[in-house]
Amino acid sequence: MTLLDVENLHVYYGQIHALKGITLHVDPGEIVTLIGANGAGKSTTLKTISGLLRPREGRITLSGQDLAALPAHEVVAKGVVQVPEGRRIFGQLTVHENLSMGAYTRTERDGIDGDLERIFTLFPRLKERRAQVAGTLSGGEQQMLAIGRALMSQPKVLLLDEPSMGLAPVLVEQIFETITGINQLGTTVLLVEQNAYMALQIAQRGYVLQTGEIALSGSAKDLQANVEVRKAYLGG
Amino acid sequence: MAATLVAARIQRNWLQRLSVIDIFLWAFRLAVLAAVVVGTFRTLYSGRYAGEVWLDFVVFGVSQGSVYALIALGYTMVYGILRMINFAHGDIFMCGAYTAYYAAGALYRAGVFNRQPLLSLAIILAVAVTASTSVALLVERVAYRPLRRAPRLVPLISAIGASFFIEYAVRGLYGSGFQAYPEFEVFKGKWNVFGIGILRTQAVVIVATLILMGLLYLFVMRTKTGTAMRAVSEDMEVAALMGINVDRIIVITFAVGAAAAGAAGVLYALVFKQVHFFMGFYPGIKAFTAAVLGGIGNIPGAMLGGLFLGLFESVGPILVLDGLGIVAPYQLKDVIAFTMLVMVLIFRPSGILGERLAGKKA
């Protein structure tokens, strides 16, 4: 049974045809990655799923429920949350306030407090800095906060847009380990990455995007072995 | 040798870079500074005003500044979220004061006004706040929301239109004359606070403002909705990605700002004892000045800016202008306020507390 289903998605920026019929699906418990060059439409796909962009054509469903017509804040309530590109934490808010904004759609106090503790065990650094203004965190800590903030909404599907961007190699490894960990705890992940090498190592399946179309799809192993993919995205 | 050459080049560049405008701005700065110093010195030297007079002016300045600060909050909160100056805000303040006038009149005729002054004040405040909030929400829905995605100049023009619309609608409905506000018997005369005589109305204004500001600050800093407001003002798109209904937060922002303006309307009418369809114009512009002075988009800045502006405006004329030999200096208090606006815009556009705005938001 598919969890997130995207069918024949067409998105325009004014006159520019950015997505030309994207079809993809994510099954429960999977890590699926979307790889491709700059401007291929990876972020556009995520933004459309999140409800920030309106598709001109196509369907987006979560367990059969239509998402395409919902405004962004209702998509979150349905269980699809995004960690946006470039982290975009609320720099003037404290770490704790950032996390509580992640839980904005929820009302059960106990559940929220429990999740807060879980996130603090996942990222002990955030616990140390919970009262600190988030803008003063390092890049790696900000990425942890961005992921923690998204997890606070108890998502069924976590959308990650370039989580490794701008981070030191050590931190990149750490972030990918974290994503695997989160997935093992039961959250389904749709991961957009330019770092195709790392992404294909942790994902079960992948899609290759090229100028707004799915050029290739398959299991991560097959994609890693594919000559075209190796040449274009894995450096030989 | 090389070092002197480099030094010479730096110096020449510095001289070359010095434009006519720079020279003019420096001259302007020096002239204002000289006027302030000379005027202050000569006033104090002449000893024309006794200590109590200064105190009266300071207290009046603080109470006037409190009203500015309350109105300034609405400007600053809406700017913080929409990056738009809500030029109809002064008229929203007027609507509060005007409806309060009718409520006060009804209570006065019913004889409740002076028998139950605190209850009456509470009722009047509630009526004013409700009226201001309703008008503000209507303006937001009709004049601003449809333009949310338009270029920034468009909602600004719409705001000016809304401002005129409200003014002339009130004029058409209630006439163009001044309406006298009834006076509370208990608020006549002075209270003695630590040996200082303070006009009762001014004391009420200051205390009420402090309470309202405290409540507002707690709301913005401690509640979930307040935190969401700050989140939306930082990054609207990500706020939506976190499940925050941005439109709802914007409506709440307008409502809270308008409520503060409505309360300010009642306090203003307590002090000046009259209402008029155009009464929102000057306090509105002054409060806008206060918001810019404190750093627009910054809530503590608006509070501080309002108090500063009120103080300068009330103490400035006799402190500075009187010493310069200007007759009837108090009539020039608006000159002081708007000179401050111009100077802030030229020399420190980010305002007193607004460093963070300079790069990111402006």
In a domain, A135, yes or no: no
Subunit contact A101:B239, Cβ cutoff 8 A = yes
In a domain, A94, yes or no: no
- Work out the average pLDDT over A72-82: 95
For Cα atoms B353, B356, B359, give the angle at the middle one, nearest 5 degrees: 130
CB-based contact, A73 to chain B, within 8 Å: yes
Q: Is A113 left (phi over 0), alpha (psi -120 to 50) or beta?
A: alpha
At A20, phi and psi to the nearest 5?
Answer: -115, 70
> Chain A contacts of B241, Cβ < 8 Å?
50, 52, 72, 76, 81-82, 84
| Amino acid letter, residue B98 | Y
Torsion of CA A84, A87, A93, A98, to 10 degrees: 60
What CATH number does the domain located at B19-361 have? Answer: 1.10.3470
Return the residue of A nearest to B228 by Cα: A101
C-alpha distance from A118 to closest chain B C-alpha (Å): 19
**What pLDDT score was predicted for residue B4?**
65
Q: Are strands A213-219 and A205-210 parallel, antiparallel or unpaired?
A: antiparallel
**What pLDDT score was predicted for residue B7?**
63
- CA B159 centroid distance within chain: 17
**What pLDDT score was predicted for residue B163?**
94
pTM, two decimal places: 0.87
pLDDT in tens, B305-341: 999 999 988 888 878 777 777 777 778 888 888 888 8
Confidence band (pLDDT; 50, 70, 90) for A181?
A: very high
Subunit contact B238:A77, Cβ cutoff 8 A = no
B342: how many CB neighbours lie within 10 A of its CB? 12
DSSP string of A4-68?
A: EEEEEEEEEETTEEEEEEEEEEE-TT-EEEEEE-TTSSHHHHHHHHHTSS--SEEEEEETTEE-T
Subunit contact B244:A88, Cβ cutoff 8 A = no
Return the residue of B nearest to A152 by Cα: B242
DSSP string of B244-310?
A: --HHHHHHHHHHHHHHHHHHHHHHHHHHH-EE-TTTTHHHHHHHHHHHHHH-TT-HHHHHHHHHHHH
pLDDT in tens, A124-161: 999 999 999 999 999 899 999 999 999 999 999 999 99
Subunit contact A88:B231, Cβ cutoff 8 A = no
> Chain B contacts of A92, Cβ < 8 Å?
230, 234, 356
| Amino acid letter, residue B341 | L
Q: Burial of B188 by CB count in 10 Å (0-12 exposed, 13-18 middle, 19+ buried)?
A: exposed
Radius of gyration of chain B (CA): 23
Closest residue to A84, CB basis, from B231, B234, B238: B238
Tokens of A216: 């290739």
> Chain A contacts of B357, Cβ < 8 Å?
none
pLDDT in tens, B107-120: 888 888 888 888 88
| Residue whose pair of structure tokens reads 């607004």 in the numeric block | B354
pLDDT in tens, B221-241: 999 999 999 999 999 999 999
Q: Is the pLDDT confidence value at A120 over 90?
A: yes
- Work out the average pLDDT over A69-95: 94
Closest residue to B240, CB basis, from A72, A91, A97: A72
In a domain, A56, yes or no: yes
Which carries the bigger pLDDT value, residue B323 or residue A72?
A72
**What pLDDT score was predicted for residue B362?**
34
- CA B8 centroid distance within chain: 49
**What pLDDT score was predicted for residue B6?**
64
> Chain A contacts of B246, Cβ < 8 Å?
73
In a domain, A226, yes or no: yes
Closest residue to B234, CB basis, from A51, A92, A100: A92
Tokens of B142: 């009709």
Total structural domains in chain A?
1
Q: Are strands A80-83 and A157-161 parallel, antiparallel or unpaired?
A: parallel
Subunit contact A88:B227, Cβ cutoff 8 A = no
Q: Which residues pair with B190 in a beta bridge?
A: B199
Domain that holds residue A48: 4-89+155-234
Subunit contact B240:A91, Cβ cutoff 8 A = no
Q: Where are the domains of chain B?
A: 19-361
Per DSSP, the three-state class of B73 is helix
DSSP single-letter state for residue B140: I
In a domain, A99, yes or no: no
* CATH number where A69 lies: 3.40.50.300
Low-confidence ranges of chain B (pLDDT < 50): 357-362
In a domain, A225, yes or no: yes
- This complex has an ipTM of 0.92
Subunit contact A90:B230, Cβ cutoff 8 A = yes
In a domain, A104, yes or no: no
